[in-house]
């Protein structure tokens, strides 16, 4: 007898989601004919880049689609019961009790005006007829399970008193308190740094296993898929590309899009271009200490706080040196100091042999052209009111070039970054990746000797990240500028840098060529960082 | 918390002293002085000079200012030149009336705005939303005094339902006084609810798009619970600041509405005293309004954390 | 029912024709008016709207329609002048306060708070009484009352833009503070200021009417909607059209301008253009 | 506490504080009962101290409470009041008054010579700041040498010289009618407390800017005969009078229509429209001795030319202007002497006919090229503002560019007192004697900048009119002054307004009066 096929916990059958409203009638559907199953207790990932419809799919399960978007066809069954036919009150009985959901932005995933205790209790009061004492006890035990220190105080505290990682864990506790059969995690850790990302996901997996709940993980990061899920569903522009076991997807992708996605994972053998020992030192940092002035009280300035102390660093032209560390490690501040945007409290920084503190006005003007900065947030680093051509030309304003020369230079560099015909556009008319190319074009158009890139790719999707890093390497090879690459993601370091400097708490804890530091990290912190970077593990998995 | 209040109060001292000096000089720059107003057109030079001496206007300006300030600090704002009443008592009595109208009207407007704004944001781009936004925009366009005149014409003159003459104080008969205040309160409520509704709607729209609202729904809460417990507290915070600003200004006297409804309020007192060059009353009133404005803003800032705990008293 | 574009459409759909109508009326008023708005006709005071006088006549027998047309021009010009003065003065002070911070910021904020602590109308009343009520003094008085709100908006916008990375980019590109302000900060301060200008226009028009109510508005015989409305008060019950016509004119204009302001805000705000 | 409870708490306090504020105002005694006659005042009275800090409203209210030795009759002549009769010495310097014996103060004390002497001494004491003290100073009509009481019911006042205007001055309303007060009206160290007089009504409650209540004085003994101005028989026919303070005219009119007001006196002409022709409201009109005039500053370079002044006068259609401004209730009058004055003869009745053609000729002759001329006015009353608007329109017909400079009343007064104007519309309160009416205009500008007509001859003629009390002697001098006034055009007198009163049909006995003063004795409600 054929073993009765266990009815799936969750079944999508031909689900189609479209945008509503006059303006976008007739535009392609946001999600077209999506069908897949999730077995009880199974961990399934829905992978895709921004705009692939993965979040819409997750939200349609509990009918929480945003305004102006509607599910127009297909069924969504929970244990054989079609959720799409349920009336308001009935679907509300399912929400929270049988299906729980965890969201992406820790800052706004909890109600800032309500204590943690009340937010935890809310779901319980609705679905369980427990006494407030019982609810309090259950909340405390769950908070302990998600490793929150001093859970009692946490009950009466407000969300803003906790870090991003702790808030995601609290949210996890809130959802899992109701013992749902299915947990939907919509990019739960994208906004966290590497270490807290790992903590939250490990916790999610462990607790889901204990309660026997199935997990639907919505993510764009193949590294997470590799480490935490058994099966994966790949979506692109609202259509199902491929579905299968994680191993098969990673090692033997059949669909061209999946292949491109997998190719964007960092290779273990990839390495940044090392500069010959003889290349001239562009930047020489000796015993640099930087302070932030304390909060100005009513009478005189407050006590300053030490952010960077005693850092030594050299960057040679043609070389990419990566500075890696968690947020608050002082890496960004050091980068700003090297560009003379932050004064040094002690020590010295020399650029082409000239100490930044003693530069004359002429030297400073020359330095401004020779040292450029690429920012992290593509939305905030470009003036929304200027066209792309003017943004790039801005750095040449002080160069002694006549107009024709300048225009030609700008067009050339735009072509190099693959934005030849984008000169007339405004920033808001371009995607994140394209904007970051504009920022890079702006930095390299004046043929600088040094480019400091502060987290230039962390806001981009994986495939786009790949293209931008490749562009960076091409431009550096062509212009031979020295590059200081600041990032928190070791996977990116692996692909771009020759040497890496690991910082923690304002101090350099380890330094050296990328292959040696990655293969046998000496400092405990470096080891933790390496372990916490899933993308590296996936690469290892793929061999 | 106490140090924060002290610091805020300390910061207002320069502002208030600036206001005091500005008022003192401004009113004296206006041509014509109280002695003239009292004696009328048949006054001869001698009696004018005598009256000015009597009113102490012949001392040099700095001396007058210092004596006024010194008395003011002890709570004695001097006596009205026109009616001889102590200014402090006069202001408090008139302020009582203005405060009554303003507090009731602003409370009503806030309640209307909070509910209308929230529902319009919840049912965005629906008929309800269009109606609420339309009404708020139209109300914003109607001059408050014209609305007052139309109401007075309709309910007062034509229908005669409401009294609008000879303000009868509460001591006389609470009912009459209450009836008398209906139209001014109605006018103020309608005009103030316009801007508050628009503010509440836009902040509710922003809050509705945040994750914790979807999270609340994902817990299975009913729409009503989501709106009242999660959306309203967070959306109401910015509106509260606007209510504070409005209160600060309106308590300074709704001169024009008081003119339309002949309400002897603070605004009317200020206008009459400027037109009668009643220096002590003008100075007393404007300083009082400035203090009210500052205090109201401080109170609003203090109860802001009620709605947005992130903003704890620094 | 109406998606993003629809909403914007509603504002423009009603706002533009109203404002256009106003400008047409002012335009016609310059060339032709049914009667001389200042000429009095003591024989027929308070004539009700009829064939000769579409909007009736006032207490001096002057034609209400002609006075509304001339009043339109004066009220609008007065409000525009007030807005212009308040915006330029407010923008400059706001920029200084927002960009320079430190003592300038604290000083300017103290002054703005002091002026804001005054009830606006009374500050204007006192200033006009000092300067004598002429068009110039009214504009000066009203713009003094409204400049603080402009300073605050501009300062807040500058403070938020100042933190944006493209400002740091401009500094790294070697722009002087003046260049940073003119090329990067100013263009981004314009949208909120433009939207504020529309609501300021409404407040200025309302204040002029309020001043006429308190007896210090634009001096006669020149009509403005404000003084027509306040002078209609004694005859409210016997000649109600004297109050209704100017009231409707003011309300119509404000409705048009406010709706245009909303449309402008949606159109200028990049975030809403996704 | 849960957040939403907190929120309800905040909203609750806002609503409660609103109600509390309403309650805050309930703190005074209940109102008077019995028949209440409700009249209206445009603005609150200034004080209860007669003849000192005062305005027209204050004088009218106080004359219900206090009475002088003599009082003004209907025609303005002095008649007996607290003094039954008086004799004047041959040289006109010594006045002997015989007091009535049946008069009692409001506090029950009988009227004797002692109280009269105390009151008169108090008026003459500069500390009191009596408005008419100047009349008994250096520039006044005479100095008071002594006030004595030969016995309890006789008072003798001796002056330093004959003063035909002595009694007319005593009865002037703005001098408080030189009302006799009981010494208890002031406290121990002479500060004013409340008026204890002998009038038909006592002062009740005064709620600032809301109302003033008077109660009937039970022990008042009225003079025999019928009411005659402020003199004659004064009978209180109602228990209480309440003067309601309603600044806004349309509100006052609506109150009368709906019956919450019995008498609407001092009605502005523009308020008439809603009332005229209503069955339940009777309407009274009596010309009063005030005047509205256009002043021309003869010292202004432009207006110093009499041809230009005459041209301006010729553009004004006085009759048409008066009819429009006062809605037919005022009377056109180009002479400083009011129409209702006994001295208003043929010379005064001459009305200058408008002649735009002649005006243009004079303008060309005077070399006027359209320079703008400032016309100062204010909104003290609707007539003052409307007059300026009409004059501006009429002058425009002859090409004269008048620019209206609208200021508020104090500024208007201040520019009048220092003569800082080219043209100015001004109204002058009632003057009972023509000499006082001319006194408004005639005077030396160096000494008194507010005077308008500054010629030696006009001052000489004015002195003549003050010399004798005989009407037959004064009339020709007044006629000469009027003719010269019309020729030299130092000012253009326009009209005398009327005292308009609208009275509900159930009110009996209310009679308007040329002295423009509300009298509510002899008025009843049925």
Chain segment A195-225, per-residue pLDDT in tens: 788 888 888 888 888 888 899 999 888 888 8
Task: Give D237's contacts (C-beta < 8 A, 6+ positions apart).
Answer: D508, D509, D521, D522, D523, D524, D525
A108 reaches B (C-beta below 8 A): yes
Q: How many angstroms separate the CA atoms of B289 and A39, rounded?
A: 70
Q: Is there a contact between A368 and A396 (Cβ–Cβ < 8 Å)?
A: no
C169 reaches A (C-beta below 8 A): yes
Contacts of B306 in chain D (CB under 8 A): 3, 6-7, 10
What is the pLDDT at residue B303? 80
C185 reaches A (C-beta below 8 A): no
Nearest CB to D393; choose among C39, C46, C215: C39
Are B22 and C114 a contacting pair at CB < 8 A?
A: yes
- Residue of chain D whose Cα is closest to the Cα of C61: D324
**CA distance to partner chain C, nearest, from residue D377 (Å):** 10
Q: Rounded mean pLDDT of chain C?
A: 84
Contacts of A126 in chain B (CB under 8 A): 219-221
What is the pLDDT at residue D99? 93
A367-402: pLDDT as tens digits: 888 888 888 777 788 888 888 888 888 888 777 778
Mean pLDDT value across residues B44-67: 82
- Residue of chain A whose Cα is closest to the Cα of B307: A113
Q: How many angstroms separate the CA atoms of D312 and C29, rounded?
A: 31
- Residue of chain C whose Cα is closest to the Cα of D406: C219
Distances (CA, A) of D435 to A107, D440, D446, D469: 89, 9, 21, 11
CA A504 to chain CA centroid, nearest Å? 20
Task: Output phi, psi for A72, to 5 deg.
Answer: -105, -20
Q: How many angstroms separate the CA atoms of A482 and A450, rounded?
A: 5
Specify which residues B216 forms β-bridges with: none
Q: Which two tokens stand for residue D220?
A: 């008042």
A20 reaches C (C-beta below 8 A): yes
Which burial class, exposed, middle or buried, applies to C222 when counting CB atoms under 10 A from its CB (0-12, 13-18, 19+)?
middle
Nearest CB to B233; choose among D3, D15, D29: D3
What is the pLDDT at residue A272? 59
Contacts of D391 in chain C (CB under 8 A): none
The complex scores an ipTM of 0.76
Q: How many angstroms separate the CA atoms of A64 and B223, rounded?
A: 12
A302 reaches C (C-beta below 8 A): no
Hey, how many other C-beta atoms are within 10 angstroms of the C-beta on D372?
10
Are A64 and B124 a contacting pair at CB < 8 A?
A: no
Size of interface C-D (CB pairs under 8 A): 63
Are A23 and C3 a contacting pair at CB < 8 A?
A: yes
pLDDT band at B118 (very low <50, low <70, confident <90, very high): very high
Task: Output phi, psi for A430, to 5 deg.
Answer: -130, 160
pLDDT band at B172 (very low <50, low <70, confident <90, very high): low
pLDDT tens per residue, chain D (526 residues)?
344 444 444 444 444 444 444 433 333 333 445 688 999 988 888 889 898 878 888 999 999 999 999 999 888 788 999 999 999 999 889 999 999 998 999 999 999 999 999 999 999 988 888 888 888 887 778 899 999 999 999 999 999 988 888 898 899 888 888 999 999 999 888 888 999 999 999 999 988 777 899 999 999 999 998 888 898 899 998 999 999 887 777 677 777 887 888 999 888 777 777 677 788 888 888 888 889 999 999 999 989 999 999 999 999 999 989 988 888 888 999 999 988 888 888 888 888 999 999 999 999 999 999 899 999 998 888 889 889 999 998 998 889 999 988 888 888 888 898 889 999 999 988 777 888 889 889 988 888 888 899 999 998 988 888 877 788 888 899 999 999 999 999 999 999 988 888 999 889 989 888 777 889 998 988 8
Task: Give A196's contacts (C-beta < 8 A, 6+ positions apart).
Answer: A163, A164, A165, A168, A189
Are C60 and D254 a contacting pair at CB < 8 A?
A: no
Which chains reach chain D with 3 or more Cβ–Cβ distances below 8 angstroms? A, B, C
- Residue of chain D whose Cα is closest to the Cα of B31: D411
- Residue of chain B whose Cα is closest to the Cα of A103: B211
A122 reaches B (C-beta below 8 A): yes
In this predicted structure, the answer to whether residue A148 has a pLDDT above a threshold of 80 is: yes
CA C22 to chain CA centroid, nearest Å? 14
- Residue of chain C whose Cα is closest to the Cα of A375: C165
Q: Which two tokens stand for residue A93?
A: 């009985």
Q: How many residues does chain D have?
A: 526
Are A101 and B218 a contacting pair at CB < 8 A?
A: yes
C107 reaches B (C-beta below 8 A): no
- For D:3-42, CB contacts with A below 8 A are 3
Mean pLDDT value across residues A507-521: 85
D320 reaches C (C-beta below 8 A): yes
Q: Is there a contact between D503 and D488 (Cβ–Cβ < 8 Å)?
A: no
Q: Which two tokens stand for residue A57?
A: 């799919």
Are C273 and A428 a contacting pair at CB < 8 A?
A: yes
Size of interface A-B (CB pairs under 8 A): 79
Q: How many angstroms separate the CA atoms of D150 and D127, rounded?
A: 27
Are C183 and A373 a contacting pair at CB < 8 A?
A: no
Using DSSP bridges, classify how beta strands A281-292 and A305-316 pair: parallel, antiparallel or unpaired: antiparallel
Q: How many angstroms separate the CA atoms of D36 and D16, rounded?
A: 37
Nearest CB to C3; choose among A68, A373, A380: A68
Expressed in percent and rounded to 5, the helix, strand and coil fractions of chain A are 40, 25, 35
Contacts of D2 in chain A (CB under 8 A): 118
- Residue of chain D whose Cα is closest to the Cα of A158: D3
**CA distance to partner chain C, nearest, from residue D174 (Å):** 28
Specify which residues D291 forms β-bridges with: D428
Q: Rounded mean pLDDT of chain A?
A: 83
Task: Give B74's contacts (C-beta < 8 A, 6+ positions apart).
Answer: none
Of D1, D2, D3, which to mutate for an interface test with A (greatest number of A Cβ within 10 Å)?
Answer: D3
Q: Is there a contact between A30 and A15 (Cβ–Cβ < 8 Å)?
A: no
Nearest CB to B153; choose among C3, C126, C237: C237
Task: Output phi, psi for D495, to 5 deg.
Answer: -160, 160
What is the pLDDT at residue C274? 37
What is the pLDDT at residue C7? 54
Q: How many angstroms separate the CA atoms of A87 and A484, rounded?
A: 57
Higher pLDDT, D11 or B122: B122
Q: Which of A289-303, A464-478, B132-146, C170-184 has the lowest mean pLDDT?
A: A289-303
Higher pLDDT, B176 or D118: D118
Are B229 and A67 a contacting pair at CB < 8 A?
A: no
Contacts of D385 in chain C (CB under 8 A): 220
Which chains reach chain C with 3 or more Cβ–Cβ distances below 8 angstroms? A, B, D
Q: How many angstroms separate the CA atoms of C78 and C139, rounded?
A: 6
Higher pLDDT, B244 or A294: B244
Which burial class, exposed, middle or buried, applies to A189 when counting CB atoms under 10 A from its CB (0-12, 13-18, 19+)?
buried
What is the pLDDT at residue A5? 58
Mean pLDDT value across residues A438-444: 86
Higher pLDDT, B43 or A479: A479
A434 reaches C (C-beta below 8 A): no
D266 reaches C (C-beta below 8 A): no
Q: How many angstroms separate the CA atoms of A370 and B4, rounded?
A: 48
Are C122 and B256 a contacting pair at CB < 8 A?
A: no
Are B286 and C118 a contacting pair at CB < 8 A?
A: yes
- Residue of chain B whose Cα is closest to the Cα of D29: B171
Q: How many angstroms separate the CA atoms of D161 and D143, rounded?
A: 8
What is the pLDDT at residue B256? 83
Q: Which two tokens stand for residue C65?
A: 């329609």
Of D246, D247, D249, D250, which to mutate for an interface test with C (greatest number of C Cβ within 10 Å)?
Answer: D250
**CA distance to partner chain A, nearest, from residue B119 (Å):** 15
Are C234 and D382 a contacting pair at CB < 8 A?
A: yes
A359 reaches C (C-beta below 8 A): no
Are B267 and C237 a contacting pair at CB < 8 A?
A: no
A486-496: pLDDT as tens digits: 888 888 888 88
**CA distance to partner chain B, nearest, from residue C118 (Å):** 6
- The pTM score is 0.79
Are D390 and C238 a contacting pair at CB < 8 A?
A: no
Mean pLDDT value across residues C208-221: 80
A92-105: pLDDT as tens digits: 888 888 888 888 88
Residue A503 belongs to what H/E stretch? strand A499-504
Nearest CB to A395; choose among C4, C164, C173: C173
C153-205: pLDDT as tens digits: 898 888 888 888 888 888 777 788 888 888 888 888 888 888 888 888 988 98
């Amino acid at each position: 007898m054929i073993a009765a096929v266990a009815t799936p916990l969750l079944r999508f059958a031909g689900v189609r989601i479209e945008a509503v409203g006059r303006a976008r009638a007739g535009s392609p559907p946001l999600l077209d004919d999506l069908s897949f199953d999730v077995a009880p207790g199974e961990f399934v990932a829905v992978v895709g880049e921004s705009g692939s419809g993965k979040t819409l799919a997750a939200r349609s399960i509990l009918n929480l689609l945003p305004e102006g978007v509607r599910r127009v066809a297909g069924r969504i069954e929970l244990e054989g019961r079609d959720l799409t036919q349920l009336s308001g009150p009935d679907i509300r009985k399912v929400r929270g009790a049988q299906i729980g959901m965890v969201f992406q932005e820790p800052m706004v995933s909890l109600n800032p005006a309500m204590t943690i205790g009340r937010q935890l209790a809310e779901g319980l009061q609705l679905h369980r007829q427990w006494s407030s004492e019982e609810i309090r006890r259950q909340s405390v035990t769950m908070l302990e399970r998600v490793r929150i220190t001093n859970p009692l105080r946490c009950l009466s505290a407000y969300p803003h008193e906790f870090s991003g990682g702790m808030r995601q864990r609290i949210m996890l506790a809130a959802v899992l308190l109701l013992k749902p059969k299915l947990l939907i995690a919509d990019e739960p850790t994208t906004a966290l740094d590497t270490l807290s990302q790992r903590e939250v996901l490990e916790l999610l997996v462990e607790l889901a296993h204990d309660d026997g709940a199935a997990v639907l993980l919505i993510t764009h990061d193949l590294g997470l898929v590799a480490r935490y899920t058994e099966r994966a569903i790949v979506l692109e522009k609202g259509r199902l590309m491929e579905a299968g076991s994680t191993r098969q997807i990673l090692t033997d992708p059949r669909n061209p899009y999946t292949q491109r996605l997998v190719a964007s994972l960092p290779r273990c053998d990839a390495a940044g271009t090392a500069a010959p020992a003889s290349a001239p030192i562009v930047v020489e940092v000796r015993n640099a200490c930087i302070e932030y002035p304390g909060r100005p009280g009513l009478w005189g300035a407050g006590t300053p706080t030490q952010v960077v102390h005693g850092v030594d660093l050299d960057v040679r032209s043609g070389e990419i040196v990566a500075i890696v560390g968690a947020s608050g490690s002082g890496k960004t501040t050091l980068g700003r100091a090297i560009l003379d945007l932050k004064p040094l409290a002690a020590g010295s920084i020399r650029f082409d042999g000239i100490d930044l503190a003693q530069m004359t006005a002429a030297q400073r003007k020359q330095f401004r052209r020779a040292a450029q900065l690429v920012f992290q947030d593509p939305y905030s680093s470009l003036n929304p009111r200027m066209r792309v051509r003017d943004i790039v030309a801005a750095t040449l304003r002080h160069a002694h070039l006549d107009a024709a020369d300048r225009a030609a230079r700008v067009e050339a560099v735009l072509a190099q970054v693959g934005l030849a015909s984008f000169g007339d556009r405004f920033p808001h008319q371009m995607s994140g990746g394209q904007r970051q190319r504009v920022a890079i074009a702006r930095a390299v158009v004046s043929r600088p000797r040094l480019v400091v890139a502060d987290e230039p790719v962390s806001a981009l999707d994986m495939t786009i990240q790949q293209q931008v890093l490749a562009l960076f390497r091409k431009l550096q090879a062509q212009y031979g500028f020295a590059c200081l690459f600041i990032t928190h993601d070791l996977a990116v370091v692996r692909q771009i840098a020759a040497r890496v400097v690991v910082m923690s708490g304002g101090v350099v804890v380890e330094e050296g060529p990328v292959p040696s530091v990655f293969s046998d990290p000496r400092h405990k912190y470096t080891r933790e960082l390496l372990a916490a970077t899933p993308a590296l593990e996936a690469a290892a998995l793929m061999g | 918390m106490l140090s924060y209040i002290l610091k805020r109060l300390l910061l207002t001292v320069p502002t208030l002293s600036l206001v005091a000096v500005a008022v003192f000089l401004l009113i004296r720059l206006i041509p014509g002085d109280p002695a003239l107003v009292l004696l009328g057109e048949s006054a001869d030079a001698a009696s004018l000079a005598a009256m000015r001496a009597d009113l102490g206007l012949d001392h040099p300006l700095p001396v007058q200012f210092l004596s006024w300030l010194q008395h003011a600090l002890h709570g004695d704002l001097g006596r009205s030149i026109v009616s001889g009443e102590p200014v402090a008592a006069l202001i408090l009595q008139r302020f009582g009336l203005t405060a009554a109208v303003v507090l009731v009207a602003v409370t009503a407007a806030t309640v209307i705005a909070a509910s209308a704004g929230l529902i319009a944001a919840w049912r965005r781009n629906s008929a309800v939303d269009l109606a609420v936004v339309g009404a708020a925009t139209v109300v914003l366009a109607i001059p408050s005094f014209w609305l007052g005149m139309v109401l007075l014409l309709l309910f007062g003159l034509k229908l005669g339902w409401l009294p609008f003459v000879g303000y009868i104080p509460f001591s006389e008969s609470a009912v009459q006084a209450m009836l008398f205040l209906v139209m001014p309160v109605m006018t103020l409520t309608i005009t103030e609810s316009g801007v508050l509704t628009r503010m509440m709607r836009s902040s509710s729209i922003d809050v509705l798009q945040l994750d914790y609202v979807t999270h609340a729904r994902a817990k299975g809460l009913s729409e009503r619970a989501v709106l009242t417990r999660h959306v309203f507290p967070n959306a109401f915070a910015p509106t509260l600041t606007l209510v504070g600003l409005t209160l600060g200004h309106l308590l300074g006297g709704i001169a024009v509405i008081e003119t339309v409804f002949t309400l002897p309020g603070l605004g009317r007192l200020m206008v009459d005293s400027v037109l009668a060059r009643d220096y002590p009353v003008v100075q007393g009133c404007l300083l009082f309004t400035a203090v009210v404005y500052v205090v109201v803003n401080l109170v609003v800032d203090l109860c802001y954390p009620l709605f947005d705990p992130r903003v704890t008293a620094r | 029912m109406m998606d993003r574009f629809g909403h914007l459409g509603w504002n423009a759909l009603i706002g533009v024709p109203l404002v256009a109508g106003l400008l047409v009326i002012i335009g016609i008023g310059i060339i032709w008016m049914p009667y001389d708005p200042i000429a009095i006709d003591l024989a027929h005071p308070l004539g009700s709207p009829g064939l000769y006088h579409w909007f009736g006549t006032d207490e001096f027998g002057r034609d209400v329609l002609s006075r509304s047309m001339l009043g339109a021009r004066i009220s609008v010009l007065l409000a525009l002048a007030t807005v212009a003065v308040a915006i330029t003065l407010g923008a400059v002070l706001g920029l200084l306060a927002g960009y320079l911070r430190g003592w300038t910021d604290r000083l300017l904020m103290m002054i703005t708070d002091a002026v804001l602590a005054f009830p606006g109308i009374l500050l204007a009343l006192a200033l006009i009484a000092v300067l004598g009520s002429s068009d110039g003094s009214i504009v000066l008085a009203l713009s003094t009352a409204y400049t603080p709100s402009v300073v605050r908006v501009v300062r807040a916008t500058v403070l938020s833009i100042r933190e944006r990375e493209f400002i740091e980019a401009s500094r790294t590109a070697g722009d002087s503070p003046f260049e940073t302000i003119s090329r990067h900060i100013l263009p981004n301060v314009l949208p909120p200021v433009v939207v504020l200008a529309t609501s300021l226009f409404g407040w200025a028009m309302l204040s002029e009417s309020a001043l006429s109510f308190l007896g210090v508005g634009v001096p006669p015989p020149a009509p403005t909607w404000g003084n027509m409305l306040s002078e209609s008060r004694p005859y409210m019950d016997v000649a109600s059209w004297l109050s209704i016509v100017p009231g409707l004119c003011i309300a119509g204009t404000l409705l048009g301008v406010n709706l245009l302001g909303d449309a402008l805000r949606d159109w200028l705000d990049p975030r809403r253009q996704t | 506490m849960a957040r939403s409870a907190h929120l309800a708490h905040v909203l609750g306090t806002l609503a409660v504080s609103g109600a509390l504020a309403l309650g805050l105002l309930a703190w005074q005694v209940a109102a008077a009962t019995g028949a209440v006659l409700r009249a209206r005042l445009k603005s609150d009275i200034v004080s209860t101290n007669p003849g000192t800090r005062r305005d027209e409203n204050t004088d009218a209210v106080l004359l219900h409470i206090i009475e002088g030795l003599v009082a003004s009759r209907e025609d303005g002549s002095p008649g007996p009041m607290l003094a039954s009769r008086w004799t004047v010495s041959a040289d006109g310097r010594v006045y002997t008054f015989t007091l009535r014996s049946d008069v009692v103060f409001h506090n029950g004390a009988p009227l004797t010579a002692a109280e009269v002497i105390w009151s008169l001494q108090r008026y003459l004491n500069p500390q009191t700041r009596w408005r008419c003290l100047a009349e008994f100073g250096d520039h006044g009509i005479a100095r008071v040498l002594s006030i004595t009481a030969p016995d309890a019911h006789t008072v003798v006042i001796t002056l330093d010289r004959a003063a035909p205007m002595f009694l007319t001055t005593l009865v002037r309303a703005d001098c408080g009618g030189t009302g006799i007060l009981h010494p208890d009206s002031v406290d121990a160290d002479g500060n004013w407390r409340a008026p204890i007089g002998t009038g038909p009504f006592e002062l009740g409650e005064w709620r600032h800017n809301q109302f003033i209540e008077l109660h009937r004085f039970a022990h008042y003994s009225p003079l025999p005969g019928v009411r005659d101005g402020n003199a004659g028989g004064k009978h209180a026919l109602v228990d209480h009078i309440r003067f309601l303070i309603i600044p806004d005219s349309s509100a006052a009119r609506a109150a009368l229509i709906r019956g919450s007001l019995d008498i609407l006196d001092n009605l502005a002409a523009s308020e008439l429209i809603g009332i005229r022709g209503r069955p339940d409201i009777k309407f009274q009109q009596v010309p009063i001795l005030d005047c509205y005039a256009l002043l021309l500053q003869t010292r202004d370079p432009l207006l110093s030319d009499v041809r230009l002044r005459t041209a301006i006068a010729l553009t004004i259609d006085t009759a048409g202007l008066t009819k429009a401004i006062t809605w037919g209730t005022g009377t056109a009058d180009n002479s400083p002497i009011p129409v209702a004055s006994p001295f208003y003869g043929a010379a005064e009745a001459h009305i200058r006919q408008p002649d735009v053609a002649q005006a243009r000729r004079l303008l060309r002759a005077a070399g006027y090229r359209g320079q703008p001329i400032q016309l100062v006015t204010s909104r003290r009353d609707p007539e003052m503002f409307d007059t300026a608007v009409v004059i501006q329109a009429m002058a425009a017909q002859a090409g004269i560019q008048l620019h209206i400079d609208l200021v508020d009343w104090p500024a208007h007064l201040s520019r009048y007192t220092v003569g800082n104007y080219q043209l100015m519309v001004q109204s002058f309160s009632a003057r009972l004697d023509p000499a006082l009416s001319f006194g408004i205009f005639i005077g030396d500008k160096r000494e008194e900048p507010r005077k308008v007509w500054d010629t030696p001859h006009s001052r000489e003629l004015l002195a003549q009119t003050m010399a004798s009390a005989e009407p037959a002697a004064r009339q020709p001098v007044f006629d000469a002054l009027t003719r010269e006034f019309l020729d030299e055009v130092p000012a253009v007198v326009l009209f005398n307004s009327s005292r308009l009163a609208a009275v509900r049909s159930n009110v009996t006995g209310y009679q308007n009066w040329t002295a423009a003063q509300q009298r509510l004795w002899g008025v009843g409600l049925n």
